[in-house]
Structure 1
Amino acid sequence: METASVLAICRVHQLLADEGNVGVTAIDKRPVKGPVKVHKLGLHGDVQASRVHHGGEDQAIYAYSQDDADYWAKELQRDLPPGIFGENLRVSGIETTGAVIGERWKIGLDVEVEVTSPRVPCAAFQRRMGEQQWVKRFTEAGRIGTYLRVIRTGTVQAGDHIHRLFVPTHGITIGKWFSEPDLESMEALRDADADGEIRLQSEYHDTFEALLRRLGR
């Protein structure tokens, strides 16, 4: 069985000019050497230029798995080094898209994080990748990775082991919610939130209301 670990810690290398409303993007993440402090809002020295679709305590860190990166490397026929997806953590041996919402991990000696929500691809990501219809392709493949909430701060570095501390019983994964946000999944998440098993961020409740309206309830 493969031991789960952090392959690379990535943070912003430079802000790039961008066509979006903010005018710059911090998607240019690259690996850094040595230990990096983890705060409630993410990695020390990292930047979130736009917080419309990411950022804040509920989306402090973005993790992407090497398995998913290998899939895209084969599809695109190009090298996809850590950070190219805008991720803060490139990980191995543990699911990101397949992680259960509310799952908790311990990284290294003291950092604890919680799986919160899927990454929603944006136009800045497409410009960064330079691939035709990239947002559509990334969305349809469903290999989207996960955002993490920092429960316990500390220090992380490449090579740190990742230990799964807790997996909620509701069973709804990041990938399932991203691709198939149905009534059954919604009710399972709402029950888990009400029971205190997990703590859902506000965006889920907005999605719940929109789904109910579509269903005429």
Structure 2
Amino acid sequence: MSSDQAPYVLSVNVGGPKPNPHKDTDSTGIDKLPVSEAVEVRAPGPKHGGLGSGVVGDFIGDRRHHGGDDQAVYAYAREDLDWWERQLGRTFRSGSFGENLTSTGLDVTGARIGERWRIGSTLVLEVSVPRIPCSTFAGWLSERGWIKTFVRTAIPGAYLRVVTPGPMRAGDEVTVLERPDHDVTVGLTFRAVTLEPELLPRLLVAVALPAELRERAVRRQTFDLDDAPDAAAT
């Protein structure tokens, strides 16, 4: 890709139900395969009782932890998959990490919470939260110590919520419509919720932060304030 090529969707990936021996759920849709046709993307509703994935035809097995409006679409950069290939000495086709959207030319880890992308001419998605690795992901890749490696490396990919529904297909241009005026990126958020909880209060400036994560950040901020030395006693 030339340096002046606009970011675009390299692959749209959809997974059907398959047995899941790695978690106490019967099935998983992590084995996502590229599709050539356009797929419809819409807001799936709440995590509990909603439609699961935002991508029509895509399967979510663990509805307790995955899917719903804040995790409607999962995006991962082809450049990051290529980096993992070099590190691990193996090949990862688009969709290997369970992502619905494999992008190219887009800094997914550097995207800000609340950043909005237009995909093609109609679909608008909003960056909501990073992906946190689970036992299904670890079992699927069969890499020893994978969760620790993934967390330490902090290239998580991004979950997206649906602002305006529409079709998505390979080759669609990705246009960044809005970028919030804060520094809360996908990468920073991931570090805060994994190995660096002291960063959690920094997330509160991101208006688009999911409610559950905002509550966690507020609790940490309160803890830090309660634990601070009493200035009057010094």
Q: Say whether the fold is shared (TM-score over 0.5).
A: yes
Q: How far does residue 214 in structure 1 lie from its aligned partner after superposition? A: 4.4
Question: How high is the sequence identity, in percent, across the aligned residues?
Answer: 36
Query: Scaled by the length of structure 1, what TM-score is found?
Result: 0.91
In structure 2, which of residues 152, 169, 172 is the aligned counterpart of residue 157 of structure 1?
Answer: 169
The CA distance in 1 between the partners of 2:199 and 2:41, in whole Å, is 35
CA gap of 1:71–1:167, structure 2 versus 1, over 3 A, is same
Code of the residue aligned with 1:30 in structure 2: it is L
1:140 paired with 2:152, answer: yes
Code of the residue aligned with 1:22 in structure 2: it is T
In structure 1, which of residues 108, 121, 124 is the aligned counterpart of residue 133 of structure 2?
Answer: 121
Question: What whole-Å deviation, never above 9, does each CA across 1:104-154 have from its counterpart, x for those lacking one?
Answer: 000011000000000000010010001101111011100100000000001
The CA distance in 2 between the partners of 1:155 and 1:15, in whole Å, is 25
CA gap of 1:192–1:64, structure 2 versus 1, over 3 A, is closer
In structure 1, which of residues 201, 209, 216 is the aligned counterpart of residue 218 of structure 2?
Answer: 209
The residue number in structure 1 matching 2:232 is: none
Code of the residue aligned with 2:5 in structure 1: it is E
CA gap of 1:70–1:19, structure 2 versus 1, over 3 A, is closer
Code of the residue aligned with 2:204 in structure 1: it is R
1:170 paired with 2:182, answer: yes
The residue number in structure 2 matching 1:190 is: 204
Code of the residue aligned with 2:212 in structure 1: it is E
The CA distance in 2 between the partners of 1:137 and 1:192, in whole Å, is 27
Q: How far does residue 190 in structure 1 lie from its aligned partner after superposition? A: 2.8
Paired residues, number: 211
The CA distance in 1 between the partners of 2:136 and 2:112, in whole Å, is 27
The residue number in structure 1 matching 2:38 is: 35
Q: In angstroms, what is the RMSD of aligned CA positions?
A: 1.7
In structure 1, which of residues 60, 65, 68 is the aligned counterpart of residue 72 of structure 2?
Answer: 60
The CA distance in 1 between the partners of 2:105 and 2:5, in whole Å, is 5
Q: What is the DSSP-based 3-state SS (H/G/I as helix, E as strand, rest coil) of the residue aligned with 1:70? A: helix
Moved more, 168-177 or 110-119: 168-177
CA gap of 1:21–1:43, structure 2 versus 1, over 3 A, is same
Code of the residue aligned with 2:216 in structure 1: it is T
Unaligned runs of 5+ in 1: 194-198
- Tell whether the 8 Å contact from 2:201 to 2:221 is kept in structure 1 after alignment: no
The CA distance in 2 between the partners of 1:179 and 1:161, in whole Å, is 29
Q: How far does residue 211 in structure 1 lie from its aligned partner after superposition? A: 1.7
Code of the residue aligned with 1:11 in structure 2: it is V
